[in-house]
Chain A
């Protein structure tokens, strides 16, 4: 089992809809979780971090964490074409000495 797994997509949603991106992880001891966004040809940039079970909201983005089920999700409300990118889930592994990334989910927001 991979340490961090994501559906590669593409996930296609119409403008204004909610995009839901999911990620599962294997290490039950993981304490922190990150979502990065990567535009085509650019480097990843951090958009959300979450440490506790439940929801964390930041503008149009909501991160959800369920440690019992070992999944973390990212919801994007009122999706815009500018949200079209690849979204990477990342979890510290190896006694939190390194960050392991999922393969990313490509999101396409259509007009």
Chain B
């Protein structure tokens, strides 16, 4: 079974802090994704990566950056956390051909910024 592991289930941070959300997958998947999920807005794509050191902006990249130094690890960085970044963050991975490969999600990180 594919396992996607997110480092924290719950995080509480203060406004202005730098926040790192870590995600590791164990199935050698090429693609990795970061989504945030908010009530009424659904899942929105922040960034994705289809290879090591490659990154692409999703639909809402503002205020975020990412890092993919190794194939199995994809990090989401909030350079200066703000209250509007309070959300559930979901990491996912898939094989390269997204049309034929399901996304496998981690358990999520619920981030609260106070």
Contact = CB atoms under 8 A, between A and B. Distances in A.
Interface in B68-100: 90, 94, 97-100
Contact of B99 (A32, A100, A103): A32
A36 B43 CA distance: 12
B87 to A, nearest CB: 14
B58 A88 contact: no
Given A8-B40, A92-B98, A100 B45 contact: yes
A104 B35 CA distance: 15
A25 interface: no
The secondary-structure label for the interface of chain B is loop
Contact of B43 (A42, A88, A97): A88
Contacts of A44: 43, 90, 103, 105
Contacts of B56: 97-98
Contacts of B99: 31-32, 51, 92, 96
Nearest to B100: A32
Contacts of A51: 99
A97 B50 contact: yes
Given A46-B103, A92-B98, A100-B59, 10 more contacts: A32-B100, A44-B90, A44-B103, A97-B56, A97-B98, A98-B45, A98-B48, A98-B98, A99-B33, A102-B42
Interface of A: 8, 31-32, 34, 36, 42-46, 49, 51, 88, 90, 92, 96-104
18 contacts: A32-B100, A34-B102, A43-B105, A44-B103, A45-B105, A46-B103, A88-B42, A90-B103, A96-B98, A97-B50, A97-B56, A97-B98, A98-B33, A98-B48, A98-B98, A99-B94, A99-B103, A104-B42
